[in-house]
Chains A and B, each alone.
Chain A
Amino acid sequence: MSYIKKPSARNPSLQPNKLGLTVRDYEGAMSTLCAGCGHDSITAAITRAFFELDVAPHMVAKLSGIGCSSKTPTYFLSGAHGFNSAHGRMPAILTGASAANRGLIYIGVSGDGDSLSIGLGQMSHAIRRNVDALYVIENNGVYGLTKGQFSASADPGSRSKYGEQNTQQAIDPVMLALSLGATFVARSFSGDKTQLVPILKAALSHRGFALVDVISPCVTFNDHEGSTKSYRYTRKNQAPIVEADYVPPAVEITAEYDDGADIEIAMHDGSTVRFTKVPEGYDPTDRDAVTLFLRERQSEGSIPTGLLFLDPEGNEMHVANHTVAAPLASLGHKVLCPGSAALDALQKSYR
Chain B
Amino acid sequence: MLRKPLEEEGSEGHRSIGREASERTGPEQELVLVNDFAFKLANVNGTGSASANGLLMQAIFRMGIPVSGKNLFPSNIQGLPTWYEIRVNKDGFTARTARYDLMVAMNAETYAQDIDEVRPGGWVLYDSSWPLAKSLLRSDLTFLGVPYAKLCIEHFSEARERTLMKNIVYVGTLAALLDIDMDVVQTMLSEKFAAKPKLMTSNAKAIRLGYEYAKAHFECPLPIRLETLDANADKILITGNAATALGAVYAGATVAAWYPITPSTSVLDAFKEFCEEYRVDAETGERRYCILQAEDELAAIGMVIGAAWNGARSFTATSGPGISLMTELVGLAYYAEIPAVIVDVQRVGPSTGMPTRTQQGDILLCAYASHGDTKHILLFPANPAECFQFAVRAFDLAERFQTPVFILSDLDIGMNDWVVPHLTWDDGYRPDRGRVLSKEEIEALPKFHRYSPEDEHGVAARTLPGTSAKGAFFTRGSGHNKLGGYTELPDEYQEVMDRLSRKHAAARNAVPAAVIQTRPDATFGVVTVGSCDLAVREALAELASNGLHGDYLRVRAFPFGPEVESFLRTHDRMFIVEQNRDGQLRSLLTLETGVRKDQLYSVLAYGGLPLQASQVVASIVHQIRETEKVVKA
Contacts and interface: CB of A to CB of B under 8 A. Distances in A.
Contacts of B257: 92, 95-96, 99
A324 B476 contact: no
B561 interface: no
Nearest to B433: A333
A15 interface: no
Interface stretch (B41-49, B72-80, B88-96, B246-254): B246-254
A81 B466 CA distance: 8
Contacts of B267: none
Size class of the contact patch on chain B = 35 or more
B294 to A, nearest CB: 7
A93 B472 contact: no
Interface in A313-351: 317-318, 321-325, 327-331, 333, 335-340, 342-344, 346-347, 350-351
B254 A329 contact: yes
Contact of B307 (A81, A99, A325): A99
- Which of B292, B298, B310, B467 has its CB near the most chain A CB atoms (within 10 A)? B310
Nearest to A32: B486
A86 B335 CA distance: 12
A333 B486 contact: no
B465 A343 contact: no
A1 interface: yes
A96 B305 contact: yes
Interface string A50-69: 00000011110101000000
A181 interface: no
B230 interface: no
Interface stretch (A100-108, A213-221, A257-265, A274-282): A100-108
Contacts of A103: 466
B292 A96 contact: yes
B210 interface: no
B254 A100 contact: yes
B472 A96 contact: no
A26 to B, nearest CB: 11
A89 B298 contact: yes
B288 A331 contact: yes
Interface in A188-236: none
B466 A99 contact: no
Given A81-B473, A81-B475, A84-B476, A92 B306 contact: yes
Nearest to A90: B302
Chain A interface main SS type:
helix
Given A82-B472, A100-B306, A3 B423 contact: no
B548 interface: no
B476 to A, nearest CB: 4
A104 B465 contact: yes
A125 interface: yes
Contacts of B54: none
Contacts of B254: 100, 328-329, 331, 336
Contact of A92 (B236, B299, B311, B470): B299
Interface stretch (A72-80, A238-246, A284-292, A295-303): A72-80
A305 interface: no
Contact of A337 (B250, B294, B328): B250
Nearest to B417: A350
Interface string B249-263: 111101101000000
Interface string B42-61: 00000000000000000001
Contacts, number: 231
A316 to B, nearest CB: 12
A289 to B, nearest CB: 29
Interface in B180-224: none
B469 interface: yes
Contacts of A347: 236, 422-423
A224 B190 CA distance: 79
Given A331-B288, A342-B278, A122 B295 contact: yes
A72 to B, nearest CB: 12
Contacts of B155: none
A335 B473 CA distance: 30
Contact of B309 (A93, A318, A324, A339): A93
B237 interface: yes
A214 B305 CA distance: 28
A61 B465 contact: yes
B469 A57 contact: yes
A58 B424 contact: no
Given A97-B307, A333-B252, A57 B472 contact: yes
A179 interface: no
Contacts of B310: 61, 96-97, 100-101, 104, 329
Given A322-B286, A323-B287, A85 B332 contact: yes
Nearest to B473: A81
B236 A350 contact: yes
- Which of B281, B284, B285, B303 has its CB near the most chain A CB atoms (within 10 A)? B303
Interface residues of A, number: 65
B478 interface: yes
A97 B309 contact: yes
B329 interface: yes
B467 A58 contact: yes
B62 A351 contact: yes
- Which of B284, B298, B472 has its CB near the most chain A CB atoms (within 10 A)? B472
B289 interface: yes
A96 B314 contact: yes
A328 B255 contact: yes
Contact of B292 (A74, A95, A122, A331): A95
A330 B424 CA distance: 26
Interface string B411-445: 00000000000111111011100000000000000
B296 interface: yes
Nearest to A56: B469
A95 B255 CA distance: 11
A328 B290 contact: yes
Contacts of B252: 331, 333, 336-337
Interface in B467-523: 467-478, 485-486
A322 B290 CA distance: 9
A103 B310 CA distance: 11
Given A61-B465, A97-B309, A100-B307, A340 B424 contact: yes
B427 A328 contact: no
A121 interface: yes
A160 B304 CA distance: 39
B425 to A, nearest CB: 4
A56 to B, nearest CB: 8
A94 interface: yes
B306 A333 contact: no
A329 B328 contact: no
A328 B295 CA distance: 22
B588 interface: no
A95 B312 CA distance: 13
Contacts of A327: 311, 466
A347 B425 CA distance: 12
Contact of A99 (B288, B312, B328): B312
Contacts of A61: 310, 465-466
Contacts of B309: 83, 93, 96-97, 100
B238 interface: yes
A330 B306 CA distance: 15
A63 B305 CA distance: 13
Nearest to B388: A343
B161 to A, nearest CB: 27
16 contacts: A1-B486, A81-B465, A84-B475, A92-B257, A92-B294, A100-B311, A101-B312, A122-B299, A327-B466, A328-B255, A331-B254, A336-B252, A338-B277, A338-B278, A346-B246, A346-B277
Given A83-B474, A336-B279, 10 more contacts: A81-B473, A83-B309, A95-B257, A95-B302, A100-B290, A122-B302, A324-B284, A328-B312, A343-B246, A343-B423
